[in-house]
Structure 1
Amino acid sequence: MVNADILDDLKTRLIAHARSLGFATVGFAPAEDDPLRAERLDSWLEAGHHGDMDWMEARADVRRGPQSMWPEAASVIALGMSYAPSVDPFALEDAGERARISVYAQGGDYHVTVKKALKALARWLVAETEKLGLGAAELKVFVDTAPVMEKPLGEAAGLGWQGKHSNLVSREHGSWLFLGAIYTTVPFAPDAPHEDLCGSCNACQTACPTDAFPAPYQVDARRCISYLTIEHKGPIPEEFRKPMGNRIYGCDDCLAVCPWNKFADHAARNKAFASRAELAGPRLADLLELDDAGFRALFSGSPIKRIGRDRFVRNCLIAAGNSGDASLMGQAETLSHDADPVVAEAASWAIAELKAVP
């Protein structure tokens, strides 16, 4: 058994090193599977709330907990990087000719930044355990793309709590954290899980434009604008088109209204996530001109690139139809003949909406 004092010292130094790599918060959780978390996942999937995200169901068996994926895991290091916005996410709400892009996607791709820092921290941990004569630590690093429930693990590690919008909320960083996790064979002592501080507040529930919350702490992805604009590949269901407004990639509403954001430490924001000027409120007219090459060039290094030009232009056409801006009619008419049938259908809808403008 490893001396507890040695592990405590290693833990302290790991936290300091993680902060030097750009992480704003660090915590430690047990690696054992949590039956309650697994039960909630199963219920969510059974209700169909994952929509077309078949990958959630396909690997549900290993998503249930750390040791379901890797039985040798002894502890989990949960980490968060801040992307606290420098401007009000609602600032462009009434600017119909402009596109609203979710705060998290206005800067560099978080997958790249967080994973690079996680790998650097992992290398440091391996070297330190070897120096201490503990043998090289075994570990696995994860950022969003693996079957890992980062938010429940973040809560278990004391980073914050899963709010009624289902995202993690931190007392120090509000709703603005990118999460990563390291599973390791090093048996770090766990931190205390964070208490739920939502209280009677339901601001996130009432702010949702599409009523995506069937109950507090539950989200039906099929009704969520983030899901519809990013994950959903077909036509946007008509009942959600008007509520989308000018949101073309993601939605911040349920996060932005959280009262805990007034305590967010903006100085802790990682510089890699600072908004690019061209993504902080682009003109719809410019975005509707994008062909595949133009789309790839504009969104190089951005998480937006992964949805492709067709899905992106579909979203922009819905925003155009909601804009009341008749000057977009010509572009919509051109796109009504697009090779992609989903784009063409969205263009026809936009034309009908723009013709109806008084």
Structure 2
Amino acid sequence: MCAMTRIPLRPAANLSPPDLHALKADIADWARALGFQQMGVSGIDLGEHPAHLKRWLAQGFEAGMGWMHEPKRASPAELVPNTQRIISLRMDYLPADPRILETLADGERAYIARYALGRDYHKLIRKRVQKLADRMSEAIGPFGYRAFVDSAPVLEKAIASQAGLGWMGKHTLILNRHAGSYFFLAELFTDVALPVDAPVSSHCGSCSACMNICPTQAIIAPYVLDANKCISYLTIEHRGVIAEPLRRAIGNRIFGCDDCQLVCPWNRYARASAEPDFVPRHGLDGPALLELWHWDEATWQSRTEGMPLRRTRYEGWLRNVSIALANAPANATIVQALEQRRESLSSSEHLNAVVAEHIDWAISEQAQKLSLR
């Protein structure tokens, strides 16, 4: 149902309170039609979240993510002048058959965070948000807006919390009582003064499952994540050498980590995504490590085209897979594959000091396991 069938809407600047309530209801309908599972509206006051961010940064928990220091991140009105409201949107991504436990338990297979198995969500969701803005323009005429999907300095989890989409869990992800945490977020900053939603209170209680399960103990306190230890940061954003104790804790996770979500009781309510673009590609929901190890750059480029996996770059891929091979069960075939690949990469720009160190370590780890058999 469109807004015109409820209350005839006038240009954005002249909308009355009844008009704005009707428009908000229609935006929710249009968002659902575009594949979003939920929509909420917040003001530009982000509550306690900017202060929490400041304390987090002061302790150096952002690791190498220097972009987190951008002051505009905590000030929506400064980032986009004239912003009055922020429309926050949620889109589920969990595959119908996530195969999480099965893959994590198999040391000869690679685990990839479930959000990264399909098409890169950035462009897909951004197009949907733009369509939502276009639909609003059709109803109310020109208005000011800017769309964000994990882009620019936006405190998206704080915004989602303020907009009533969920609360910040102890693992620092947004939790929803009816959907868990397996979802993407997007925002539409706007100068239209829509009615705001109330923030959701926390429902984590005394549960500490996410903190206890973290392989590297990166959740050092409730609501405090040390990115220096986080497997998602280490395997995706970090470009350098990974400390040996952390390498062993990484296990077979070659891109991201879902452990804190896996054990969260609220994820019993997580729903499988109906979005075709989020269906796992190329069998990457449980691939054999040795198969991935033999991918040359051309194969990697082909198999990861249009996927979030491109974020780690090919050198990061080699580093991460070599770590997983080091942590795999003792296997002479793995040692042979590591040695052969190292030799073939010796004349390649991809065998930089970081990649070489991790391959050599993997060979050493496997050789030690074999000697103890």
TM range, normalised to the smaller chain? over 0.9
- Are 1:206 and 2:206 matched, yes or no? no
**Residue in structure 2 matching 1:321, options 323, 326, 342:** 326
CA distance in 2, matches of 1:239, 1:99: 19
CA distance in 2, matches of 1:269, 1:208: 29
**1:293-320: CA deviations, max 9, x gaps?**
2111010010101221110110000000
Q: Which residue of 2 aligns with 1:305?
A: 310
CA distance in 1, matches of 2:39, 2:124: 16
- Are 1:18 and 2:31 matched, yes or no? yes
CA distance in 2, matches of 1:210, 1:269: 33
Q: Which residue of 1 aligns with 2:360?
A: 348
Cα pair 1:33 1:68 within 8 Å, conserved: no
**Residue in structure 1 matching 2:65, options 47, 50, 53:** 53
**Residue in structure 1 matching 2:299, options 282, 294, 297:** 294
Q: Which residue of 2 aligns with 1:224?
A: 230
Once the two structures are superposed, the pairs formed by residues 1-358 of structure 1 within 5 Å of their partners are 2-34=15-47, 36-57=48-69, 59=70, 61-85=71-95, 86-130=97-141, 136-266=142-272, 268-324=273-329, 325-337=331-343, 338=345, 339-357=351-369, 358=373
Measured on the aligned residues, the alpha-carbon RMSD in Å equals 1.3
CA distance in 1, matches of 2:172, 2:332: 38
* 3-state DSSP of counterpart to 2:100: coil
CA distance in 2, matches of 1:331, 1:123: 53
Which 10-residue stretch deviates more, 286-295 or 13-22? 286-295
TM-score, normalised with respect to structure 1:
0.94
Cα pair 2:282 2:303 within 8 Å, conserved: no
Shift of 1:24: 0.7
CA distance in 1, matches of 2:65, 2:311: 15
CA distance in 2, matches of 1:293, 1:170: 40
User: Structure 1, unaligned stretches of length 5 or more?
Assistant: 131-135
Shift of 1:42: 1.1
CA distance in 2, matches of 1:33, 1:172: 23
Runs of 4+ in 1 over 2 A off after TM superposition: 84-88, 268-271, 334-339
Matching residue's letter, 1:41: L
Matching residue's letter, 1:121: L
CA distance in 2, matches of 1:67, 1:88: 42
Cα pair 2:98 2:114 within 8 Å, conserved: no
Shift of 1:2: 2.8
CA distance in 1, matches of 2:111, 2:104: 8
TM-score, normalised with respect to structure 2:
0.91
CA distance in 1, matches of 2:206, 2:45: 31
Report the CA distance shift for 1:23/1:179 in structure 2 as closer, same or farther (over 3 A).
same
Matching residue's letter, 1:16: D
Cα pair 2:129 2:188 within 8 Å, conserved: yes
How many percent identity over aligned positions? Answer: 38
Cα pair 1:32 1:67 within 8 Å, conserved: no
Shift of 1:334: 2.8
CA distance in 1, matches of 2:245, 2:150: 29
Q: Which residue of 1 aligns with 2:11?
A: none
Cα pair 1:287 1:313 within 8 Å, conserved: no
Shift of 1:277: 4.5
Matching residue's letter, 1:13: D
Matching residue's letter, 1:221: A
* 3-state DSSP of counterpart to 1:186: coil
CA distance in 2, matches of 1:95, 1:327: 17
Shift of 1:254: 0.3
